Copies of this chain bind each other. A is one copy, B any other.
Amino acid sequence: MWKLESSSLDLTVLPVEESLYTLANGYLGIRGCFEEGYPQHYTSIRGTYINGFYDLVEAKYSEKLFGFPEMQEKMPNLMDVQTIEIYLDGECVSLFNGNHVNYKRTLYFDEGYAERSFEYQTQKGKSASIRFRRMVSFQIKELFAIEVKIKYEGEILVKSYMNGEVSNYTDAFDPRVGEHAKLLDWKSSNLIDGRYMIITARTKQTDYEVGCAVYHHCSEKDAFVEIAGEQEPKMRAVYSTNGRMTLTKYAAYSHSRHNQEPVLHRILDIIKKHSIRSFDEHLAIQRLYLENFWHHSDIQIYGNDLIQQGVRFSLFQLLQSVGKDGLTNIAAKGLTGEGYEGHYFWDTEIYILPVLQLVQPEIAEKLLIYRHSILDHARKEARILGHKRGVKYPWRTIAGRECSTFFPAGTAQYHINGDIAYGFIQHYLQHEDLDFICRYGAEVIFETARLWLDVGHFHDGKFMIHNVTGPDEYSCIVNNNYYTNAMARYNMEWAVKFYEMLKLENPQILEEITRKIQMVETEIDEMIEASQNMYLPYDEVLKIHKQDDAFLDKALWDFEGTPEEKYPLLLYYHPLTIYRYQVIKQADTVLAHFLLEDFSEEASIRNAFDYYEKVTTHDSSLSSCIYGIMASKCGYYEKAYDYFMETVRLDLDNTHGNTKDGLHIANLGGTALSVIFGFAGYRIKNEGIALSPWCPQNWSGYGFRLIYRGRKLCVKVTDYLEIELLEGEKLQLKVYGRQYELEKVLKIPLEGLKRDDQSCNI
Chain A residues within CB distance 8 Å of chain B: 59-68, 72, 175, 179, 384-387, 404-408, 410-412, 455, 457, 459, 464, 466-468, 476-477, 479, 549-550, 553-555, 570-577, 579-580
- Residue numbers in B under 8 Å from A405 (CB-CB): 61-63
- Do A574 and B62 contact each other (CB < 8 Å), given the known contacts A464-B553, A550-B479? no
Complex formed: what's the CA distance from A464 to B457 in Å? 27
Cβ 8 A contact of A477, one of B175, B477, B574, B577? B477
- Residue numbers in B under 8 Å from A575 (CB-CB): 65-67, 407
- Residue numbers in B under 8 Å from A63 (CB-CB): 175, 404-406, 410
- Residue numbers in B under 8 Å from A553 (CB-CB): 459, 464, 466, 479
- Residue numbers in B under 8 Å from A477 (CB-CB): 408, 476-477, 576, 579
- Residue numbers in B under 8 Å from A464 (CB-CB): 553
- Do A385 and B577 contact each other (CB < 8 Å), given the known contacts A175-B65, A571-B66? yes
Is the pair B467, A574 in contact by a Cβ cutoff of 8 Å? Answer: no
- Do A62 and B59 contact each other (CB < 8 Å), given the known contacts A467-B576, A580-B455? yes
- Residue numbers in B under 8 Å from A555 (CB-CB): 457, 459, 466
- Residue numbers in B under 8 Å from A476 (CB-CB): 477
- Residue numbers in B under 8 Å from A386 (CB-CB): 573-574, 576-577
Q: How far is the CB of A270 from chain B (nearest CB, A)?
A: 36
- Residue numbers in B under 8 Å from A571 (CB-CB): 66
- Residue numbers in B under 8 Å from A573 (CB-CB): 66-67, 386
Is the pair B576, A412 in contact by a Cβ cutoff of 8 Å? Answer: yes
Cβ 8 A contact of A576, one of B60, B62, B385? B385
Chain B residue with minimal CB distance to A556? B457
Cβ 8 A contact of A60, one of B62, B549, B554? B62
Give the interface centre of A62, A408, A580 by most chain B CB atoms within 10 Å.
A62
Chain B residue with minimal CB distance to A553? B459
Is the pair B467, A580 in contact by a Cβ cutoff of 8 Å? Answer: yes
Is the pair A574, B384 in contact by a Cβ cutoff of 8 Å? Answer: yes
Q: How far is the CB of A422 from chain B (nearest CB, A)?
A: 22
- Residue numbers in B under 8 Å from A61 (CB-CB): 60-62, 405-406
In the A-B complex, the 5 residue pairs with the closest CB atoms: A67-B574, A386-B577, A457-B555, A62-B405, A60-B60
Complex formed: what's the CA distance from A407 to B575 in Å? 9
- Do A570 and B66 contact each other (CB < 8 Å), given the known contacts A455-B580, A576-B467, A577-B385? yes
Chain B residue with minimal CB distance to A410? B63
Complex formed: what's the CA distance from A466 to B577 in Å? 10
Complex formed: what's the CA distance from A646 to B554 in Å? 41
A-B contact pairs, 15 of them (CB 8 A): A61-B61, A61-B406, A65-B406, A66-B575, A67-B574, A67-B577, A385-B576, A386-B576, A407-B574, A408-B408, A408-B477, A459-B553, A459-B555, A466-B579, A467-B576
Cβ 8 A contact of A62, one of B72, B459, B554, B577? B72
Chain B residue with minimal CB distance to A62? B405
Q: How far is the CB of A381 from chain B (nearest CB, A)?
A: 10
- Residue numbers in B under 8 Å from A384 (CB-CB): 574
Give the interface centre of A59, A385, A468, A574 by most chain B CB atoms within 10 Å.
A574
- Residue numbers in B under 8 Å from A550 (CB-CB): 466, 479, 549-550
- Residue numbers in B under 8 Å from A410 (CB-CB): 63
Give the interface centre of A179, A459, A466 by most chain B CB atoms within 10 Å.
A466
Complex formed: what's the CA distance from A113 to B473 in Å? 56
Chain B residue with minimal CB distance to A388? B561
Chain B residue with minimal CB distance to A408? B408
Q: How far is the CB of A316 from chain B (nearest CB, A)?
A: 31
Complex formed: what's the CA distance from A64 to B177 in Å? 11
- Residue numbers in B under 8 Å from A68 (CB-CB): 574
- Do A467 and B385 contact each other (CB < 8 Å), given the known contacts A62-B60, A66-B572? no
Chain B residue with minimal CB distance to A580? B467
Chain B residue with minimal CB distance to A572? B66
Complex formed: what's the CA distance from A619 to B601 in Å? 47
Q: How far is the CB of A326 from chain B (nearest CB, A)?
A: 29
Give the interface centre of A63, A459, A464, A570 by most chain B CB atoms within 10 Å.
A63
Complex formed: what's the CA distance from A572 to B386 in Å? 9
Complex formed: what's the CA distance from A458 to B264 in Å? 68
Complex formed: what's the CA distance from A464 to B270 in Å? 67
Give the interface centre of A66, A411, A455, A577 by most chain B CB atoms within 10 Å.
A66
- Residue numbers in B under 8 Å from A59 (CB-CB): 62
- Residue numbers in B under 8 Å from A408 (CB-CB): 408, 477
- Residue numbers in B under 8 Å from A385 (CB-CB): 574, 576-577
A384-B574, A411-B574, A479-B553 are known contacts; what are 15 more A-B pairs with Cβ within 8 Å?
A60-B61, A62-B72, A66-B571, A67-B573, A67-B575, A68-B574, A385-B574, A387-B577, A407-B574, A457-B554, A464-B553, A466-B550, A466-B554, A479-B550, A549-B550
